[in-house]
């Protein structure tokens, strides 16, 4: 697929370039609590502005209901982007209306503007191709004749949405540096990874990860299970899990996985349980098969951390997606911290699969350069490893 370097070789000075970035950052009021995705967008934007392009960034934030909602405005993101770039980044008051056209029309060579949250327009995520296509046409019209499109939001390329997929059919499309590097890394994992190949999966629900678990188990040497999803596995083994998160509708399928691939699956042997889901709850460490009635597991225990670490020490390749516990509460952060540190300490080619795992790396103070690659797209990473087509990539490759 054509990439950013191809576009730059054509010359972009004075040319408008629509960049689809992933700027879906966590907010506390109007304060960004983790700017990792904003920082990840910088290299592509800076290459374009350095070459004199007039860069128009489009992105989403949160889940507004298809109409403007001030709590999901991209204004805080524009401020942070401007701080990182060292220049003011104006944000339009709408997506494709008069304000957008005015802001874009005022761009000088080498400058950047941000359109308002694309999900303020319901057509962005519509299942109706005609509706999405009409919105994509409006986006293309905002940047005008001769413009190009750069897809650099890896966290959204698994979605067939107007600003990701349909606009790439209207403007000459190029993969940004972030998308290109993400795809290259994931192709390493799906190709011939250095062995042993160990995957660590956490998060809350088995149902969210079942497809990728089934796809990965024939390919990996070990698959370590943590997080809330571990309790469905423990229950499938016949253990009582108290009031821990449990998906009863997944038990039969989980039993089948254990019967078929039990030699590859590694489950917690002890857990940190609490009497309530709260930062100040009473806690105790118990064996994984001895969770008391009325108590809930919120983290893997110290023996489980060591068990996981032992497996990770000898790994050649590691993919990690999903925390081992409720790391947002310090009382239940030790499991995630321990697993992550074991990956850092290993000699493996290590990939952090975005989402909460990437947030945990930063919030727990772990060295980002201790991992070979930290993805910006958790869902996109998982779907790629599951073997699904990513519409936002396929359209750039001309396969859709």
For the annotated catalytic residues, the residue numbers are: 37, 205, 355, 379
List the one residue out of 80, 1, 3 whose CA is nearest residue 36. Answer: 80
| Residue-wise DSSP of 75-125 | HHHHHHHHHHHTS---B-SSSSSHHHHHHHHTPPTT-EEE---GGGSGGGG
Strand arrangement of the beta sheet that strand 54-58 belongs to:
112-114, 54-58, 16-20, 148-151, 173-175
Is 61 labelled a binding residue? yes
Is 159 labelled a binding residue? yes
Is 24 labelled a binding residue? yes
List the one residue out of 36, 1, 6 whose CA is nearest residue 21. Answer: 36
Residue 222 three-state SS? strand
Is 355 labelled a binding residue? yes
Is 62 labelled a binding residue? yes
Tokens of 259: 């019967």
- CA distances 2 to 174, 176, 394, 396, Å, are 5, 9, 12, 7
Is 209 labelled a binding residue? yes
Paired residues of 27 in beta bridges:
32
Is 67 labelled a binding residue? no
Is 373 labelled a binding residue? no
Tokens of 208: 């969210």
Is 357 labelled a binding residue? yes
Is 60 labelled a binding residue? yes
Is 63 labelled a binding residue? yes
Residues making up the annotated binding site for ATP are 209, 297, 328, 354-357
Residues making up the annotated binding site for substrate are 22-24, 37, 60-63, 119, 159
Residues making up the annotated binding site are 22-24, 37, 60-63, 119, 159, 209, 297, 328, 354-357
């Amino acid at each position: 697929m054509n990439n950013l370097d191809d576009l730059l070789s054509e010359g972009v000075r004075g040319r408008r370039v629509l960049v689809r970035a992933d700027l879906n950052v966590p907010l506390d009021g109007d304060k960004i609590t983790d700017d990792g995705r904003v920082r990840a967008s910088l290299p592509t934007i800076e290459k374009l502005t350095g070459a004199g392009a007039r860069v128009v960034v489009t992105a989403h934030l949160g889940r507004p209901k298809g109409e403007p909602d001030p709590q999901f405005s991209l204004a805080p993101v524009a401020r942070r982007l401007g701080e990182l770039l060292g220049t003011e980044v104006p944000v339009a008051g709408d997506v494709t209306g008069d304000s957008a056209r005015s802001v874009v029309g005022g761009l000088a060579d080498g400058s950047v503007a941000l359109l308002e949250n694309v999900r303020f327009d319901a057509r962005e995520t519509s299942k109706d191709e005609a509706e999405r296509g009409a919105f994509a046409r409006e986006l293309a019209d905002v940047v005008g004749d001769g413009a190009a499109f750069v897809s650099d939001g890896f966290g959204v390329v698994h979605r067939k949405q107007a600003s990701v997929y349909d606009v790439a059919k209207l403007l000459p499309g190029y993969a940004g540096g972030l998308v290109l590097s993400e795809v290259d890394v994931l192709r390493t994992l799906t190709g011939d990874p250095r062995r042993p190949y160990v995957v660590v999966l956490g998060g809350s629900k088995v149902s969210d990860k079942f497809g990728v678990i089934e796809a990965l188990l024939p390919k990996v040497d070990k698959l370590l299970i943590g997080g809330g999803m571990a309790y469905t596995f423990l229950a499938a083994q016949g253990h009582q899990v108290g009031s821990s998160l449990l998906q009863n509708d997944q038990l039969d399928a989980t039993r089948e996985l254990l019967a078929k691939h039990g030699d590859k699956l590694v489950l917690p042997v002890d857990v940190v349980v609490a009497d309530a889901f709260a930062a100040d709850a009473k806690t105790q460490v118990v064996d994984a098969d001895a969770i008391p009635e009325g108590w809930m597991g919120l983290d893997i225990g110290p023996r489980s951390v060591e068990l996981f670490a032992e497996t990770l020490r000898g790994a050649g390749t590691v993919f990690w997606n999903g925390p081992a516990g409720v790391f947002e509460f310090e009382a239940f952060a030790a499991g995630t911290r321990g697993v992550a540190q074991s990956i850092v300490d290993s000699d493996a080619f290590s990939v952090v699969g975005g989402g909460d795992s990437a947030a945990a790396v930063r919030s727990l103070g772990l060295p980002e350069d201790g991992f070979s690659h930290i993805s910006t797209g958790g869902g996109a990473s998982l779907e790629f490893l599951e073997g699904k087509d990513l519409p936002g990539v396929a359209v750039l490759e001309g396969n859709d």
